[in-house]
Amino acid sequence: MRTDKRANDEMRLIKITDDFVKYPEGSVLIEFGETKVICNATVNESVPPFLKGTDTGWVTAEYSMLPRSTHSRNVREAQRGKLSGRTHEISRLIGRSLRSAVNLEMLGERSIILDCDVIQADGGTRTASISGAFIALNKAVKKMIERGDIEQSPVTEGVAAVSLGLVNDELLLDLNYEEDSSAQVDMNLVGTESGKIIEIQGTAEESPFERGKVSEMLELGFKGLEVIFAAQKKISDF
Amino acid sequence: MRTDKRANDEMRLIKITDDFVKYPEGSVLIEFGETKVICNATVNESVPPFLKGTDTGWVTAEYSMLPRSTHSRNVREAQRGKLSGRTHEISRLIGRSLRSAVNLEMLGERSIILDCDVIQADGGTRTASISGAFIALNKAVKKMIERGDIEQSPVTEGVAAVSLGLVNDELLLDLNYEEDSSAQVDMNLVGTESGKIIEIQGTAEESPFERGKVSEMLELGFKGLEVIFAAQKKISDF
Amino acid sequence: MRTDKRANDEMRLIKITDDFVKYPEGSVLIEFGETKVICNATVNESVPPFLKGTDTGWVTAEYSMLPRSTHSRNVREAQRGKLSGRTHEISRLIGRSLRSAVNLEMLGERSIILDCDVIQADGGTRTASISGAFIALNKAVKKMIERGDIEQSPVTEGVAAVSLGLVNDELLLDLNYEEDSSAQVDMNLVGTESGKIIEIQGTAEESPFERGKVSEMLELGFKGLEVIFAAQKKISDF
Amino acid sequence: MRTDKRANDEMRLIKITDDFVKYPEGSVLIEFGETKVICNATVNESVPPFLKGTDTGWVTAEYSMLPRSTHSRNVREAQRGKLSGRTHEISRLIGRSLRSAVNLEMLGERSIILDCDVIQADGGTRTASISGAFIALNKAVKKMIERGDIEQSPVTEGVAAVSLGLVNDELLLDLNYEEDSSAQVDMNLVGTESGKIIEIQGTAEESPFERGKVSEMLELGFKGLEVIFAAQKKISDF
Amino acid sequence: MRTDKRANDEMRLIKITDDFVKYPEGSVLIEFGETKVICNATVNESVPPFLKGTDTGWVTAEYSMLPRSTHSRNVREAQRGKLSGRTHEISRLIGRSLRSAVNLEMLGERSIILDCDVIQADGGTRTASISGAFIALNKAVKKMIERGDIEQSPVTEGVAAVSLGLVNDELLLDLNYEEDSSAQVDMNLVGTESGKIIEIQGTAEESPFERGKVSEMLELGFKGLEVIFAAQKKISDF
Amino acid sequence: MRTDKRANDEMRLIKITDDFVKYPEGSVLIEFGETKVICNATVNESVPPFLKGTDTGWVTAEYSMLPRSTHSRNVREAQRGKLSGRTHEISRLIGRSLRSAVNLEMLGERSIILDCDVIQADGGTRTASISGAFIALNKAVKKMIERGDIEQSPVTEGVAAVSLGLVNDELLLDLNYEEDSSAQVDMNLVGTESGKIIEIQGTAEESPFERGKVSEMLELGFKGLEVIFAAQKKISDF
C-alpha cells in the first residue's frame, strides 16, 4: 500500500478553488493532494509576430515555482536572470497541450496566456498545472463570449493531465513527491475527454523499460484523467 | 467618505492565515483588504560573504508580484532577465526593516530569508509584506529555538508597517489601489510596538507638501500600526 | 509515396564520419539524409556540485544549431544572451537518454559532456544528435579505458533515437523537414539495442490522436532503431 | 566637534563647476566636500511608451559610481550585467525628486535624462546628485527656451537635497563617509526653496528611533537646504 | 625548420569545400592546415537602423568557436549569456575587412551576414575566417545577381587575410597553434588582390619590437595572400 | 590647415592632472585637447585563476564612456546588461599594451587594474587612455614600493599611444572627432620610449591603402609619441 494509503490506481484528492485571484479573466487554485498551483488566464488583444495579420490566435503558458514551494529554497529565476531548462520545458508542454484543444482561428487575433505558479509542490506540478490551466482558459473564453469578443467557444474538448509511474515494480497513479523520487519509469499523459492523446511522455529514470508496459500505463492514465475531468466540470462546464 | 466606506483613520480588514505553505520554517498569507501576500521564511545555515567568520547572522528579503496580481499582466522579471528598480527597492526596504528588530549576533552565523510573493495587489503590498514577513520571521525563530539552534529569540520587538497618504487634501490610512493612484502625498511608515520609528518614507507625488503635515501623519500611522500589531499577535506572540 | 521516394517504413541514408574533429575524446559527424550534426564528447575530471564526493559520474549534453543550418537564419543564442526553450528541452533529452545507458558509478567522479552542433537541419536533428552522441560517448569511454582511467566500459547497452509521425493519415518513419512540418502526430522514440524504451514522446500537433496508434508507432520506431544500431556498429562496437 | 572641525549644523564646502562637459544640454560638477558628482542633462525628443500621444513630458535619472570612487574598487555594473538594488533605488529617488518640481505638461512630449556619475564618494552622493542634477536640469531648460522648443520654464521652484543623521546621539548635518558609517539614524531630505518637502526618508540603522526626533531633524535639514540653494543660485537662477 | 616541415615563408595547405551547407546564399568550408571554419553568407532584405532610408547596404560578421574546437573545451557563450571580448573583436574585424571591398551603395538596402563558425582551431582562425567569408560573400553576390536583386557585383576586389609572426627571432608565415603560442610578435594582415592594405594589426606579445621589422613583415604577408587568392579563385572568380 | 589650426604633425594640447581622485593607488585626468579621460589604477592582492600559484602578476584594464561624453547620449552598458564590442576591444588593447611594459614576475601575485573612464570624447579616447593609464600604473607602482610590497619597479620603459590618419589624402597626427569621422585610413600606434612598437593597428575606413604609406605613418606616429612622453614625465618619472 502507498504511504498515503491510496490504492495504486487512485488519484489524490483534487480541489479546485474558483476565482482565486480577482483580476485575471480566468483564475483557479488547483490542488492535487498537497500540490497547489495558481492558474491565471490573461486575454491579450495581440499575437506573437509570426501570427500578425493571419486572423489566428495563440495560447501560451508560463510555469514558475515560488522559491519555497519545495523542501529547500530555490534561488529565484528572476535573481539568476534566466529561466532553467526545466521551467522552459514545462511551460512549453502546458502551452502545447492547451493549443491542441483550441481552434485558434475561432479565437481571432488574440492571445490567451496561462500563468501557472506553484505555491506548494508535492509531485505532479505539471499535470496539476495543465489541468488547472484548462479551467482558467475555459473561464476566460466564457468571459470573452460574455463581452462579445467572440461568439462561440473555440475550445474543442476537455483537456487534463496526469502523472503515473513504475515504483518498486508497481504501476502507480498520480505520484506524490516521495513516489516520484524513487520511480523507475515516469510518465506524463495529457488527454482529452473523448479518450484521445494530446501528449505522452515516458522516461526511464534508472533503466530502460519494456515496450509492453506502455499500453498498461495508458489505461491507468486514462482512468486518472476521468477523475480530473469530473473535478473540472464542477467548476466550469466545457 | 471613502469608496469602501471606511473612516479616514480606519484600516482595511487584516487577515492572517497561519502555516499557508508547509515547507518553510515560517509561512503566512497576509491580507490587507483585497491585497494578499504569501510571506515565507527560510532559515539558511550560511551568511553572505561579508559576514563569514564574524559569528553574526543576516536577515534579507525578496519581494515579487505574480504576473496577474494586478489589473493588467506584467511581464515576469525572470523572463526579462532582470529585476525592476521597484522590486529592488521594496526588497531592500523589507530586509532593512526586519533587521532593525533582530539582534543579528544572537542569530549566530545563519540567514533568514523572507520571500514575499504578492498574489493579489490592491495597494499597500509593501506594508502588508513587512507586516506578514515579521510574523513568518518570528515563527521561524520559534522553530529554531525548538530545534535547539538558538536558546533565545533574537527578535527585540514587534515590527509592522502601514501606508497613509493625502488624498483630496484628506489624510487617509492604509490606502487601497484607487486611493493610492490619486494620492498627493504618499507615506510608508515602519514602526515598532513601543512606538518607535524604523523607517519613514514620505513622497510628494504631485506637488511638495508642508513640513507641518509630518507629525500629523506620524500620529495617524502609529494608530494603524496598533491595529496590525493586534492582528499579528493572534497568530504568534512576540 | 514520400517526396524523397522512400517507403513509409524506410530510414533516410545514415552516414557516420569518424574522428570528425581531432581534439575531443570522441567525435563523429552523423547524417540522417540531409540532416548533419557534429557530436563531440569531452571527458572532464569533475562533476556537478550535487555529485561531489559521491564517487559517481555524470553525463550531460548541449545541443545547438548553427545560425544558418535552416532555411532562414536564426539569431545566435549567444547574441540574445539566453538559450531558447527548445534548445534547453533538446539538450536535456539528449543528456537524460544517454545517462540511462551508462552506469554512472563505474564512471567515477568524472563528467562526459556531449556537444551536438547541428550544421544542417532537415528534420530529426534531436534523434540524429542522440544517435551520434552515443557513438561519441562510446569512443570517449574506449579512450578512457586506453588511458587507464577506468577498467571497464560503464556503457550498459546501445542507444539510438528515431522520429516518426502521422502525415496525411499515414505513419512515416524518420521524417524530413517537409514531412515534419505537416505531421498530425509527431513522436520521438529513444530505445536500446535490446528493444527497451528509454524515452517516448508523442505529441498531437493539430488534433488529439487515438490511443490505439501508440503500439503501431512503437513497432515502426523500433524497426528504425535497428537500422541506426547497424550504422553505429560500423564505427564503434558497444 | 566633528573630525573635519565642522559645527553639527554646518554643511561641507559646496562647489559647483559650470559647463563641466561640453556636449550635454546642461552639465555641472558638484562637490559636497570630498564628494564629487558629474551631473549631465540630456534633452530627448521622445518619451517613454506610457506617455506617447499625451502631450506630456518626462524627467528621469541614472546614477552610477566609477569603480574606484570609493576606498576599495567595485566591480562595474556593466561587467556584472546588472544594476545593483542600491543603484536602482537612488536613480529612482533622483528622478522622482526632480519630477516634483517640473510641470511635465509644459515640457511637451520630451524627456530630460539626468546622468549623475560619482567620481569620488565621501558620503552624501545621492543628495549631491539631486542638488547638482537640479542645476543641470535648469540649464537644459534654459537652452530649450533659447532654441525655441518651449516658451516658458516648466520648473516650478528650486530643489535640493541634504543628508543628516544621529551620530553618537548628536544630530549632524551633511554626513561624510566616516560619520555616515557610524550613524544610528540616517535621513535624506529633498525639499524646495519655499520650505516644502518633496521626499523624506529616515532609516534606523541600528535601533528604532523616537518619533519626536523627526521635527528636530526636519528643522536641521532645511537649514542645510538653504545653504545649497544659495550655492545653486550662483550658477543658474531659477 | 618548422615542426610541420614548412619553409618559413610557406603557407599551410589551403582547402576550400564549396557549398558546404545547402541553405545559405553562399557557403564554404575553408581549411588552413588543421584549422577548419564554416563560412556561411546570408542575404537579408533589411539593414541596421542607422542605414534605414539611405539606399545603402551593410555587411557584417559573427565569429564563433564550437566548444571543442580547441584542446580543452570552452564554455559556450550562449550558456554564459554573453560574448567574450575576443569574439567581439574578431567578429568586428571580419565585418570591417569585408565592408572595405564592397560598394555598399550598389548593394541597395540589404545586409549580408557572414557567419564564421570554427569547427577545429589550429591557429589562424581569424585569417581563415576572413578568407573564407570573402568567398561566401562573393557567392551570395552572384546569387543575388542571378535572382535579379542587383545587376552588378558590388565587390570591388578580392580580400584575404593571413597571420605571421616572429618566433624564436625568425619571421614565420601562417602560424599554427603551437607557433602562435610562442610568438614574440604576432601580426594579422588583411589585404587586397591589388596589393593594398585593408587592415594591419601587429602586437608585441612579450616585448616591444623594432619599427624596422614592419616592412619585412608586410612583404612576407603579401606573399601569403597571393597563395590564398589563388585558392579562392578555384572556387569562385572575383 | 586643420580646423583647429594645428600643423599636420602637431599634437593637441596635452594636460595631465595629478591625483585626480583620492582613493586609487594611482589617478590622473588626462586631456588630449577636448578629449578627457580619468585613469585610475587599483592594486589588488589577487590574480586571475590561470595565474594562481605562479608567482606572476597581471595588468588589466576596463574602458568606459560616460553616457553623455559624446554629441548624443549613449545608453549605459550597465543598463543594456552587456558590454559593446567596441568597449571590449579597447579594454583589451589597453591591458595588452601596458602588460608589454611590465615585468609581470617582478609584480608578484598581484593585479593592477586600470579604469579608463571617458568624461568627454573628441577623438583619440583609446590613445589618451593608454597614455594616461601608463602614468596611473607608474604611480601605483611607486606606492607599492613605498609600502614595501615590492622592491623595484617592474615597469621596463615608458608607454604611450597616439592616433593618426589619412584625411583628404593628407597624413594628420592626433585626430580629433571631426577628422576621425572623415579619415580614409585610421591608425593607432602604441610605442615605447626607446622607439619600439607595442601595437600597430591600421584600418582602411573607406578603401584599401598603399603598403608604402605604413613607414611614413610610423614616422609621424613616433613624432607624436615623443610629445606625450614629455608630458607624462612632468607628472611622474619612469
Model confidence pLDDT, tens digit, residues D44-95: 999 999 999 999 999 999 999 999 999 999 999 988 888 898 999 999 999 9
Find out whether D191 and D160 touch, Cβ atoms under 8 Å.
yes
Which residues of F have a CB under 8 Å from any CB of E?
82-86, 88-89, 91-92, 96, 100-101, 156-157, 191-192, 194-204, 206-211, 213-215, 218, 222
Q: Vertex E83, ends F164 and F79: CA angle to 5°?
A: 85
Q: How far is F232 from chain E (nearest CA, A)?
A: 19
- pLDDT of the residue at C126: 98
Location of C-alpha cell 526553450: C85
User: Across the interface, which of F34, F38, F76 has its CB nearest the CB of D66?
Assistant: F38
Secondary structure string (H, E, C) spanning chain A? CCCCCCCCCCCCCEEEEECCCCCCCEEEEEEECCEEEEEEEEEECCCCHHHCCCCCCEEEEEEEECCCCCCCCCCCHHHHCCCCHHHHHHHHHHHHHHHCCECCCCCCCCEEEEEEEEEECCCCHHHHHHHHHHHHHHHHHHHHHHCCCCCCCCECCCEEEEEEEEECCEEEECCCHHHHHCEEEEEEEEEECCCCEEEEEEEECCCCECCCHHHHHHHHHHHHHHHHHHHHHHHCCC
> At F155, which amino acid appears?
V
For residue F79, which residues of chain D lie inside 8 Å, CB to CB? 62, 83
- pLDDT of the residue at F237: 87
Which residues of A have a CB under 8 Å from any CB of C?
82-86, 88-89, 91-92, 96, 100-101, 156-157, 191-192, 194-204, 206-211, 213-215, 218, 222
Find out whether C173 and C10 touch, Cβ atoms under 8 Å.
yes
User: Across the interface, which of E82, E196, E209 has its CB nearest the CB of F197?
Assistant: E209
Query: Which chains would you list as touching C if contact means 3+ CB atom pairs under 8 Å?
Result: A, E
Find out whether A152 and A106 touch, Cβ atoms under 8 Å.
yes
Taking only the tens place, the pLDDT of each residue in F57-105 is 999 999 999 999 999 999 999 888 888 989 999 999 999 999 999 999 9
- The set of residues, in sequence order, having a beta carbon less than 8 Å from that of C23 and lying 6+ positions away, is E68, E69, E70, E71, E120
Look at phi and psi of residue A186 and say left if phi exceeds 0, alpha if psi is from -120 to 50, else beta.
beta
Q: How far is D112 from chain B (nearest CA, A)?
A: 18
- Cβ of C196 within 8 Å of Cβ of A218? The answer is no
Query: Which chains would you list as touching D if contact means 3+ CB atom pairs under 8 Å?
Result: B, F
Q: Vertex A89, ends A87 and A90: CA angle to 5°?
A: 70
Ranges in chain C, pLDDT < 50: none
CA distances to C190, D149, E176 from C97, in Å? 7, 66, 38
User: Across the interface, which of F197, F207, F215 has its CB nearest the CB of E208?
Assistant: F197
> At F20, which amino acid appears?
F
Q: How far is C194 from chain E (nearest CA, A)?
A: 32
CA distances to D25, F131, F166 from F172, in Å? 31, 19, 6
User: Across the interface, which of C23, C76, C87 has its CB nearest the CB of E71?
Assistant: C23
Q: How far is D129 from chain F (nearest CA, A)?
A: 15
**CA–CA gap between residue A201 and residue C202 (Å, rounded):** 7
Find out whether B116 and B66 touch, Cβ atoms under 8 Å.
no
In a 3-state reduction of DSSP, which class is residue D52? coil
- Cβ of F196 within 8 Å of Cβ of E211? The answer is yes
Nearest residue in chain A measured CA to CA from B70: A23
Q: Work out the pLDDT band at A1, boundaries 50, 70, 90.
A: confident
Binding region of F for phosphate: 86, 124-126
> What DSSP state is assigned to residue B149?
S
Q: Which three three-digit cell numbers place residue B166?
A: 493625502
Q: Vertex D38, ends D37 and D42: CA angle to 5°?
A: 140
**Mean pLDDT on A71-99:** 93
User: Across the interface, which of F85, F199, F206 has its CB nearest the CB of E204?
Assistant: F199
For residue F64, which residues of chain D lie inside 8 Å, CB to CB? 76, 78
Taking each helix axis from N to C terminus, what angle separates D213-235 and D125-147, rounded to the nearest 10 degrees? Answer: 40
**CA–CA gap between residue E164 and residue E124 (Å, rounded):** 9
Q: How far is A210 from chain B (nearest CA, A)?
A: 37
pLDDT(D97) > 90 = yes
Q: Which three three-digit cell numbers place residue E165?
A: 609572426
Listed residue (E141, E135, E113) closest to E41, CA to CA: E113
pLDDT(E208) > 90 = yes
Q: Work out the pLDDT band at D205, boundaries 50, 70, 90.
A: confident
Tell me how far apart the 2 most distant CA atoms of chain E are, in Å. 56
> At D209, which amino acid appears?
F
Q: How far is F39 from chain D (nearest CA, A)?
A: 10
> What DSSP state is assigned to residue D3?
T
- pLDDT of the residue at B156: 94
- pLDDT of the residue at C205: 83
User: Across the interface, which of C85, C91, C215 has its CB nearest the CB of A91?
Assistant: C85
User: Across the interface, which of B23, B66, B77 has its CB nearest the CB of A38?
Assistant: B66
Share of chain B above pLDDT 70, in %: 100
**Mean pLDDT on A19-30:** 98
Question: In the sheet that C14-18 helps form, which strands lie side by side, from edge to edge?
Answer: C14-18, C26-32, C35-44, C111-120, C58-65
Find out whether E50 and E58 touch, Cβ atoms under 8 Å.
no
- Cβ of A119 within 8 Å of Cβ of B38? The answer is yes
For residue B119, which residues of chain A lie inside 8 Å, CB to CB? 21, 38
> At A224, which amino acid appears?
G
pLDDT(E1) > 80 = no
Find out whether B91 and B63 touch, Cβ atoms under 8 Å.
yes
Any known ligand binding at E125? yes
Ranges in chain F, pLDDT < 70: none
- pLDDT of the residue at E80: 85
Q: Work out the pLDDT band at A205, boundaries 50, 70, 90.
A: confident
Q: How far is E78 from chain C (nearest CA, A)?
A: 4
For residue E98, which residues of chain F lie inside 8 Å, CB to CB? none
Between D238 and B132, where is the model more confident?
B132
- Cβ of C208 within 8 Å of Cβ of A89? The answer is no
Q: Which three three-digit cell numbers place residue F121?
A: 570624447
> At A233, which amino acid appears?
K
User: Across the interface, which of B85, B100, B215 has its CB nearest the CB of D204?
Assistant: B100
Location of C-alpha cell 546614477: D63
Q: Work out the pLDDT band at E79, boundaries 50, 70, 90.
A: confident
Taking only the tens place, the pLDDT of each residue in A120-153 is 999 999 999 999 999 999 999 999 999 999 999 9
Q: Work out the pLDDT band at A195, boundaries 50, 70, 90.
A: very high
CA distances to B122, C230, E196, F153 from B126, in Å? 11, 64, 66, 56
Find out whether E85 and F89 touch, Cβ atoms under 8 Å.
yes
Which residues of A have a CB under 8 Å from any CB of B?
21-24, 27, 34, 38, 40, 42, 44, 62, 64, 66-71, 73, 76-79, 81-83, 87, 113, 115, 117, 119-120
E-assigned strand segments in chain E: 14-18, 26-32, 35-44, 58-65, 111-120, 159-167, 170-173, 183-192, 197-204
pLDDT(A22) > 90 = yes
**CA–CA gap between residue B101 and residue B161 (Å, rounded):** 13
**CA–CA gap between residue A189 and residue A90 (Å, rounded):** 13
- pLDDT of the residue at F154: 97
For residue E206, which residues of chain F lie inside 8 Å, CB to CB? 100
Q: How many contiguous H segments (helices) and E segments (strands) does chain F have? A: 6, 9
**CA–CA gap between residue A137 and residue A79 (Å, rounded):** 29
Mean pLDDT score of chain C, rounded to an integer? 96
- Cβ of A200 within 8 Å of Cβ of C214? The answer is yes
CA distances to E134, E162, E215 from E130, in Å? 6, 9, 22
Location of C-alpha cell 541600528: D206
Taking only the tens place, the pLDDT of each residue in B23-68 is 999 999 999 999 999 999 999 999 999 999 999 999 999 999 999 9
Find out whether A144 and A153 touch, Cβ atoms under 8 Å.
no
Q: Rg of the Cα trace of chain E?
A: 18
CA distances to B146, D89, F18 from F235, in Å? 66, 39, 7
- pLDDT of the residue at C177: 96
pLDDT(A81) > 90 = no
- Cβ of F196 within 8 Å of Cβ of E204? The answer is yes
For residue D98, which residues of chain B lie inside 8 Å, CB to CB? none
Residue B154 CA from chain centroid, whole number: 19
Nearest residue in chain C measured CA to CA from E84: C78
Q: Which three three-digit cell numbers place residue B188?
A: 510608508
**Mean pLDDT on A203-223:** 93
To probe the interface with B, which of A46, A73, A113 has the most B CB atoms within 10 Å? Answer: A73
- Cβ of F191 within 8 Å of Cβ of E203? The answer is no
- pLDDT of the residue at F80: 84
User: Across the interface, which of D38, D77, D113 has its CB nearest the CB of F78?
Assistant: D77
Taking only the tens place, the pLDDT of each residue in B188-238 is 999 999 999 999 999 998 889 999 999 999 999 999 999 999 999 999 888
Binding region of C for phosphate: 86, 124-126
Q: Work out the pLDDT band at A5, boundaries 50, 70, 90.
A: very high
Domains and CATH numbers, chain C: 14-233 (3.30.230.70)
CA distances to A236, C207, E38, E130 from E135, in Å? 63, 47, 11, 9
- Cβ of D21 within 8 Å of Cβ of F69? The answer is yes
